[in-house]
């Protein structure tokens, strides 16, 4: 599922999420940062270290099909300097929305069958 990642209504990046843990409503994918993204302000983890400033950021995920995704939280782990990788995770998506978004995804089908 393609999503925009927002902080205070401003798009800070994008991702194509995969269903990681269907029973818990967890989805994750590579984060593609926009120019507005600032690791110290938005990432909860930077190269393996907790970032308390980033943990307080109010992040949201928005898809074209569903709008803002109802979830328990959105977290960015930025390992760009050490691994050249940034990951975004959406936690605790609600059941109907999660199923609708991922029902056709191979990982989702494999998990339930």
Q: Express each pLDDT in 11-33 by its tens digit.
A: 999 999 999 999 999 999 999 99
Structure tokens at 61: 């995920």
Q: Are strands 45-46 and 73-79 parallel, antiparallel or unpaired?
A: parallel
CA distances from 47 to 35, 40, 52, 64, 79 (A): 20, 11, 13, 31, 4
- Model confidence at 56, in pLDDT bands (50, 70, 90)? confident
Q: Give me the pLDDT at residue 31, please.
A: 99
Which residue has better confidence, 66 or 16? 16
Q: Is the pTM of this model over 0.85?
A: yes
Other C-beta atoms closer than 10 Å to the C-beta of 20 total 17
Concatenating the DSSP letter of every residue in 62-94 gives: EETTTEEPP-SEEEEEEEHHHHSEEEEEEE---
Phi, psi of 82 (to 5 degrees): -95, -40
Q: Give me the pLDDT at residue 110, please.
A: 87
Mean of per-residue pLDDT scores for the chain = 94
């Amino acid at each position: 599922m393609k999503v925009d990642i927002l902080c205070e209504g401003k798009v800070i990046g994008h991702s194509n999420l995969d269903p990681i843990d269907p029973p818990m409503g967890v989805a994750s994918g590579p984060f593609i940062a926009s120019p507005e993204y600032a690791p110290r302000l938005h990432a909860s983890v930077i190269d393996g270290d907790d970032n308390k400033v980033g943990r307080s950021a109010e992040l949201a995920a928005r898809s074209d099909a569903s709008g803002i995704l109802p979830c328990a939280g959105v977290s960015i782990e930025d390992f760009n300097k050490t691994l050249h990788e940034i990951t975004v995770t959406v936690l605790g998506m609600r059941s109907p929305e999660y199923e609708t978004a991922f029902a056709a995804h191979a990982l989702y089908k494999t998990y339930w069958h």
